Each structure stands twice: as structure tokens, then as C-alpha cells.
């Protein structure tokens, strides 16, 4: 019997000391009686015996010690086991989190101490924080989406909705609350769904069996400004594992303006058609909005673009533009001045070929969606003759005729390479994965402000002037202005704003120094310089990786953060890191 008891004691002692969890026992005065090796190692004690007689305050930060003692005391007073969470800050950007099971030690129905097992849940807590951040972003996207989004259960009860949905249906909060409080127990169309009566069977199938259903255009029972509201709706079911319907998501788009725009023109289309058919140039009418529909076109227009009469009903302005950004410019000019006169533009035929045209357009009616009439004349012959006369102009005409969105042919690749290198530096520095996620986003977007810089400056093949440099140096602030209203879970806008700052205050745009500059911005500064020097630019060839690394090393501690530079050097010198894509040159010591 004594042998068995001795073995049991030995096994318990082995389990106590070999456990990976941190284990301790305190007396009724909350002084440590003993602990295991994992506990003593974590708190820097030479052996478990060294904990005897100490208090939490002797080992832990003040606030953590207070929480430890409070929960120990609560367990002893309640005589019931409880769980607590303790956090320990190991460094400025790193902490350890433990889940603690606290068991009161009872003797004659009174507590004489407490037994605690501390399990490291740092990874789980980090994953949960990342999940919460992703959920916050997804929720923000849904709530601010321009499309109405609502979710109902399998019998049609309203569960959730976004701002656009409430705006489309013009429902007050009280009305929505009343609807959500009214619980349906069986699936059926009621007065609020009467506008969908013609689609009853197909909708019932979605709610009962799953699948999806699209209603392209339907008049609702709602009115706004005395006019019926028209919507387009898409219903699709989310299924349970047992293949029953869990939820039905409904996407609602308000198409009222488009419907009434077409109706307003219907009475005049016949006369317009007769007139336009006799004109030898392309004549059309269209909506003045993004992705605006061409409402009518004459035969000359259809011949010009190679569009059949059948296909002419589904043509949009954007379909005809070789440069997609021209649509925004056209809309802005029409809204500001009411007309566009003889604009020379490259248009695209139905077969994908392009031609030069003279484009004239003016507003006919002003409403929620304005209608404009336009005339197009093919000037390809004239433009070709003009090009022959302009062959001596080196690259200017080519730059002006290219797509407006080709601001800088190098920016996309540059930003990706900078982002990749910055993240690699962040990992080398031991940054948290969540911080690296934010760094990657900031790296990809760090030059977004260059969209406000004239194309001719970004792609200029020689040295730029002082005034152009000052304009170029505004791109961090322009990038900040673009990004500041987006609710990222990381300080992306601030990082982008600071990525050209330097430790000694010689950077721009704010002249920040050392501690005032975010770590992510310090990393981007180094990555940006290395990538820019090691890769080709429109105004120079690559200077090579060797010179790039020499530059950041020379500026270490002066312009660039010393630890960031050292991490970058380790990547290239010890870990064979390579910049992606073909326009970067390999490391060269010669």
C-alpha cells in the first residue's frame, strides 16, 4: 500500500514539474508555496523553491499582479473554481496571454490556499484579434456598400440590413423595428412583398430549397417624391450542412432614375429617329452617369461602330471608349459646363479596332439621371495626316494618346516590390503578423498619391525641375488624403504620409524626426530607396543593388533606422533575398 502511494506521489510530482503549463500553489495569504519548473523559468527564477514566500507583486507587473491576486481571492472566497486571463508585456509590440484555471484548496469547508494552472493562449488570442479585425472590415464594407443588402431567415423574417437598404425603402427605424418584432412562423408573401407576386413560385423555391433568383426590374409599392420606386433584386440562399436553407441574402439596387429616364424619352424617340436617320454622322442619346446606357443611336452611328440593330439596345458609353478614364472626364465636363465641343478622342469599334473621332455632346434634360445628345464624326484620316506632320515630336504625341491611367508604367511593379521587401524586413525584425498585414497594405498603396501628379512629371525621361520636384513631393500628402477616410484596422494613411520622412528631420512632407515616425514608415523608407535604386526608371538605368545597399548603410542612424537597415542587409547578404521581376539588377560587388 505504501509502495503504491509512493508511486502515486512520484507520478504527481513528475506531472507537476514536467507540465508545459505554468503551475503554482499559494497559501491563504496569497504567498507562493511552490511552483513548477515552467513557472520558475518564465519568471526568471533559478528553481521552483525560489518562489516560496514571494507574492505576485514580486514577480509580475503591478496591474497583472493585482488581477492575479483578485481572482485568487475570489476563488478562495467563493470556494468555486474560476477562470481568469492574465497578460504579460514582453516588449513594446509583443505580449503573452495566459488562461488561468484557479482551484480553491479546501480543508474543513474553508479555503487554505489556491491551486492555479496557467496555459499560454497568446496564439489563440492573436488569431481571435485578427478575426475581429477582418469582421470589422467586412461589416464596414457591407454597411457602406451602395447596394441595399438585407438578410432574412427561411420564413422571411428580417434579420439584418445596411444603410443603403434602409435608404432605398425609405423606412424609419421605428418601422424597421416593428417589422423585425413581427415574427413570421411560416413562409408567405404579405403586403410588404406584394410587388413580387408575379415571382411567388420562384421566390418560394429559393426560401424552401435554396439556389438563387434575379429580378431585373420590378415596380414596388413604395413611393418617393410622388413616383413609384423601381428596383432590381437578387435573392440567393445560404445553406445549412444538412442542405436546408439557413438564410436568404437579398441584394437590392434602386433603378428608379433609369426607368423614368427611359420613360421620359419614349414620347420623343420616334421623331428623333426619323430625323437622325438622314444625318451622315453618328448621332446618339445617352444617360450622363458612370456606365451610362446609350438610349438611342442612328444608322450612321451603328455603321461607324459596327453595331447591329439588335445589339444597339445594350451598348454603354464605356463600351465605346478606348480609354476607360475618358468616361469620367466626359461626365465631369458635362456636369460642369453642360456640353463638350469637338473633343478629339480615340473610340473603339465593336470588333475591338480603334479610330479617331470628333466628339460633341450637350445636356438635353437635367434630372436625377441627366440625358445628353451627342454627335460623332470619324476624323481618323485627318488625325493620320496630322500624325505624319508630327513625327519629329519625340514621344509627346505618344504620351498624350496613351491611356490616362498609364500614369507611371513602373509604379505597379515598384509598389509590389517595395511591399514585399518591407514585409520581409518586418518579419526579420520579429513584427507581429497583424502589423505585417498593415505594412503590406501600406506598401502596396504608398505611392497612390502619385495619381494626383501630372503624368508628364512621373514619366519625364530626364531631370525634373525644382517646381516639378515640389509637386512630386506632395504625393505622400495626396496619398494620405485619399486613404484617411478608409477605416483600416491599421494606420495605413499615416504610414503612407510618413514614408519619405527621415530620422534627422530632413525628409518630407512634415519633417518628422526619430520617435515621431512610425516603425512601418521607417521600414518603407528603406525598402523604397533600395527598390528605387536597384531597378530601372524611365529617366535612368538601374544603379544596382550594391550601390543601393551602400546608400542605406551610409545613412544608417542618420536618415534610416539602424535596426531596419541591419535587417535589410541580413536579408540580402545572408538570406539571398531577391527583388522580384526582371528590371532589378543582381547584387554586384564590382
CATH value at residue 22:
3.30.450.20
The reply to whether 126 falls in a domain is: no
Asked whether the beta carbons of 252 and 150 are under 8 A apart, the reply is yes
The reply to whether 521 falls in a domain is: yes
The reply to whether 343 falls in a domain is: yes
Same domain, 243 and 366: no
Please tell me whether the peptide bond between 509 and the residue prior to it is cis, using omega within 30 degrees of 0.
yes
Q: Which H helix or E strand runs over 364?
A: strand 354-365
Out of 340, 367, 401, pick the residue that ends a domain.
401
- Identify the bridge partners of residue 216 per DSSP, sorted by sequence position: none
CA-CA distance, 221 to 461, in Å (whole number)? 61
The reply to whether 316 falls in a domain is: yes
Q: Which H helix or E strand runs over 250?
A: strand 245-254
pLDDT tens over the chain, length 590 residues: 555 565 677 777 887 888 899 999 999 999 999 999 999 999 999 999 999 999 999 999 999 999 999 999 999 999 999 999 999 987 777 888 999 999 999 988 788 999 999 999 888 877 887 777 787 777 787 788 888 898 989 888 888 888 888 888 888 888 888 878 877 778 776 656 778 888 888 988 999 999 999 998 888 888 888 888 899 999 999 999 999 999 999 999 998 888 888 777 666 666 656 666 777 788 888 888 888 888 888 888 888 899 888 888 888 888 888 888 888 888 888 888 888 888 888 899 988 899 988 889 888 876 667 888 888 888 888 777 655 543 432 232 222 223 223 456 655 577 788 889 999 999 999 998 889 988 988 888 888 888 778 877 777 777 778 888 888 899 899 889 888 887 778 898 999 999 999 999 999 999 999 999 999 999 999 999 998 888 776 666 677 888 989 999 999 999 999 999 999 999 999 998 988 754 343 333 33
- Quote the domain boundaries for residue 20: 2-120
CA-CA distance, 470 to 197, in Å (whole number)? 63
Q: Residue 496 belongs to a domain with what CATH number?
A: 1.10.3210.10
Same domain, 27 and 105: yes
3-state helix, strand, coil in the chain (%, to 5): 45, 25, 30
- Identify the bridge partners of residue 347 per DSSP, sorted by sequence position: 321, 355
Same domain, 281 and 323: yes
The reply to whether 550 falls in a domain is: yes
CA-CA distance, 27 to 54, in Å (whole number)? 11
When divided into structural domains, the chain yields a total of 4
Q: Which of 85, 89, 86 is CA-nearest to residue 64?
A: 86
Same domain, 560 and 416: yes
Same domain, 282 and 156: no
Q: Which H helix or E strand runs over 110?
A: strand 110-120
Same domain, 240 and 276: no
Same domain, 288 and 370: yes
The reply to whether 130 falls in a domain is: no
Cell 531597378 -> residue? 535
CA-CA distance, 265 to 243, in Å (whole number)? 48
Same domain, 208 and 278: no
Same domain, 395 and 498: no
The reply to whether 261 falls in a domain is: no
Which residues have C-beta within 8 Å of that of residue 406, sequence separation ≥ 6? 455
The reply to whether 580 falls in a domain is: no
Same domain, 169 and 249: yes
Q: pTM score > 0.85 for this model?
A: no
CA-CA distance, 247 to 269, in Å (whole number)? 44
Asked whether the beta carbons of 413 and 464 are under 8 A apart, the reply is no
Same domain, 394 and 418: no
Out of 120, 150, 175, pick the residue that ends a domain.
120
The three-state DSSP-derived secondary structure of 260-298 is: HHHHHHHCCHHHHHHHHCCCCCEEEEEEECCCCEEEEEC
Out of 371, 401, 431, pick the residue that ends a domain.
401
CA-CA distance, 464 to 527, in Å (whole number)? 23
Same domain, 323 and 391: yes
Kindly report each contact of residues 225-234 with a partner whose C-beta sits within 8 Å and lies 24 or more positions away, as own/partner.
227/256, 227/260, 228/256, 229/168, 229/169, 229/170, 229/254, 229/256, 230/254, 230/255, 230/256, 230/258, 230/259, 230/260, 231/148, 231/168, 231/255, 231/256
Amino acid at each position: 500500500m505504501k509502495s503504491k502511494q509512493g508511486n502515486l506521489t512520484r507520478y504527481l510530482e513528475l506531472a507537476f514539474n514536467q507540465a508545459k503549463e505554468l503551475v503554482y500553489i499559494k497559501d491563504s495569504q496569497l504567498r507562493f508555496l511552490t511552483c513548477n519548473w515552467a513557472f520558475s523559468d518564465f519568471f526568471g527564477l533559478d528553481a521552483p523553491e525560489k518562489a516560496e514566500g514571494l507574492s505576485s507583486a514580486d514577480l509580475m507587473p503591478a496591474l497583472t499582479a493585482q488581477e492575479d491576486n483578485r481572482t485568487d481571492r475570489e476563488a478562495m472566497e467563493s470556494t468555486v473554481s474560476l477562470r481568469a486571463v492574465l497578460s504579460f508585456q514582453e516588449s513594446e509590440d509583443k505580449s503573452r496571454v495566459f488562461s488561468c484555471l484557479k482551484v480553491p484548496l479546501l480543508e474543513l469547508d474553508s479555503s487554505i490556499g489556491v491551486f492555479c494552472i496557467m496555459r499560454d493562449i497568446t496564439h489563440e488570442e492573436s488569431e481571435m484579434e485578427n478575426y475581429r479585425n477582418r469582421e470589422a472590415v467586412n461589416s464596414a464594407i457591407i454597411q457602406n456598400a451602395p447596394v441595399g443588402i438585407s438578410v432574412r431567415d427561411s420564413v422571411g423574417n428580417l434579420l439584418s440590413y445596411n444603410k443603403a437598404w434602409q435608404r432605398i425603402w425609405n423606412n424609419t427605424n421605428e418601422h424597421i423595428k416593428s417589422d423585425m418584432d413581427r415574427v413570421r412562423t411560416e413562409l408567405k408573401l404579405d403586403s410588404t412583398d406584394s410587388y413580387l407576386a408575379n415571382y411567388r413560385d420562384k421566390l418560394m423555391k429559393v426560401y424552401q430549397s435554396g439556389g438563387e433568383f434575379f429580378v431585373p426590374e420590378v415596380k414596388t409599392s413604395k413611393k418617393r417624391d410622388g413616383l413609384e420606386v423601381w428596383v432590381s433584386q437578387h435573392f440567393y440562399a445560404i445553406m445549412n450542412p444538412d442542405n436546408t436553407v439557413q438564410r436568404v441574402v437579398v441584394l437590392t439596387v434602386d433603378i428608379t432614375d433609369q426607368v423614368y429616364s427611359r420613360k421620359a424619352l419614349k414620347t420623343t424617340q420616334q421623331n428623333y429617329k426619323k430625323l437622325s436617320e438622314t444625318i451622315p454622322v453618328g448621332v446618339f442619346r445617352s444617360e450622363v452617369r458612370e456606365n451610362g446606357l446609350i438610349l438611342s443611336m442612328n444608322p450612321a452611328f451603328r455603321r461607324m461602330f459596327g453595331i447591329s440593330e439588335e445589339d444597339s439596345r445594350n451598348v454603354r458609353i464605356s463600351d465605346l471608349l478606348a480609354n476607360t478614364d475618358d468616361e469620367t472626364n466626359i461626365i465631369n465636363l458635362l456636369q460642369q459646363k453642360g456640353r463638350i465641343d469637338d473633343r478629339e478622342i480615340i473610340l473603339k469599334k465593336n470588333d475591338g479596332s480603334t479610330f479617331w473621332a470628333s466628339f460633341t455632346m450637350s445636356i438635353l434634360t437635367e434630372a436625377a439621371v441627366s440625358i445628353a445628345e451627342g454627335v460623332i464624326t470619324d476624323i481618323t484620316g485627318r488625325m493620320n495626316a496630322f500624325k505624319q506632320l508630327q513625327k519629329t515630336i519625340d514621344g509627346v504625341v505618344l504620351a498624350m494618346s496613351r491611356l490616362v491611367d498609364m500614369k507611371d508604367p513602373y509604379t505597379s511593379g515598384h509598389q509590389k516590390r517595395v511591399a514585399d521587401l518591407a514585409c520581409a524586413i518586418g518579419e526579420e525584425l520579429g513584427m507581429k503578423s497583424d502589423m505585417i498585414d498593415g505594412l503590406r497594405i501600406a506598401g502596396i498603396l504608398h505611392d497612390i498619391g502619385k495619381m494626383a501628379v501630372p503624368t508628364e512629371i512621373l514619366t519625364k525621361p530626364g531631370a525634373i525641375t525644382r517646381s516639378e520636384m515640389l509637386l512630386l513631393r506632395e504625393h505622400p500628402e495626396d496619398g494620405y488624403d485619399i486613404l484617411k477616410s478608409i477605416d483600416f484596422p491599421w494606420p495605413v494613411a499615416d504610414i503612407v504620409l510618413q514614408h519619405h520622412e527621415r530620422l534627422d528631420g530632413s525628409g518630407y512632407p512634415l519633417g518628422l524626426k526619430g520617435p515621431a515616425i512610425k516603425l512601418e514608415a521607417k521600414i518603407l523608407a528603406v525598402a523604397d530607396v533600395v527598390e528605387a535604386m536597384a531597378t530601372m526608371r524611365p529617366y535612368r538605368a538601374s544603379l544596382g543593388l550594391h550601390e543601393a545597399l551602400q546608400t542605406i548603410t551610409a545613412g544608417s542612424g542618420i536618415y534610416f533606422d539602424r535596426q531596419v537597415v541591419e535587417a535589410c542587409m541580413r536579408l540580402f547578404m545572408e538570406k539571398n533575398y531577391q527583388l522580384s521581376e526582371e528590371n532589378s539588377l543582381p547584387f554586384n560587388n564590382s
